[in-house]
Amino acid sequence: MTLRIIPTGVHAYFDYIGGIGLLAAPFVFGFFALGGAAVIIPMVLGAGLLLYSLLTNYELGIRGLKFLPMSVHLLLDFVASAFLALSPFLFGFIKQAPNAWLPHIIAGVTVIFLVLLSQTRYQPKARALA
């Protein structure tokens, strides 16, 4: 039994912060000049995260376009995070300076924990009748 203590609304904020963070990581951590997979992977995953977050049926999805169930969103998060964490080994940039590979591993492992602790269903609150 897992302890799902992070509400979907909180997870949603982490999604948008994480997506922007992944897009910015090569610049923030100074490995943009390295190029290749080290740069492309976080940027593509960040853009993808932002896109599928907008389409997710949770608090910060776009009204009218929320067709992606939270369970599918979490599966995408898990697969993308595992790929991100393993990418330095898969693509060989683990041999570069730590600022090039350590953000990939830390972000990937952190998001895996976020997925494991996040609630799997969005439960909108009923609107009060005024």
- Judge whether residue 127 has pLDDT over 80: no
Chain-centroid distance of CA 109 in Å reads 11
3 is a domain residue: no
Model's pTM, two decimal places? Answer: 0.93
pLDDT score of 129: 58
Q: What is d(CA 73, CA 57) in angstroms, rounded to the nearest whole number?
A: 9
Domain ranges, residue 67: 8-117
122 is a domain residue: no
43 is a domain residue: yes
Q: Helices (DSSP H) in 1-130: which residue ranges?
A: 8-28, 37-54, 70-90, 98-117
41 is a domain residue: yes
Q: What is d(CA 85, CA 77) in angstroms, rounded to the nearest whole number?
A: 12
- Judge whether residue 2 has pLDDT over 90: no
Read off the pLDDT of residues 95-110 as tens digits, 9 standing for 90 and up: 999 999 999 999 999 9
113 is a domain residue: yes
Number of domains, the chain: 1
* pLDDT confidence bin for 43, thresholds 50/70/90: very high
85 is a domain residue: yes
127 is a domain residue: no
Six token digits for residue 21: 């963070």
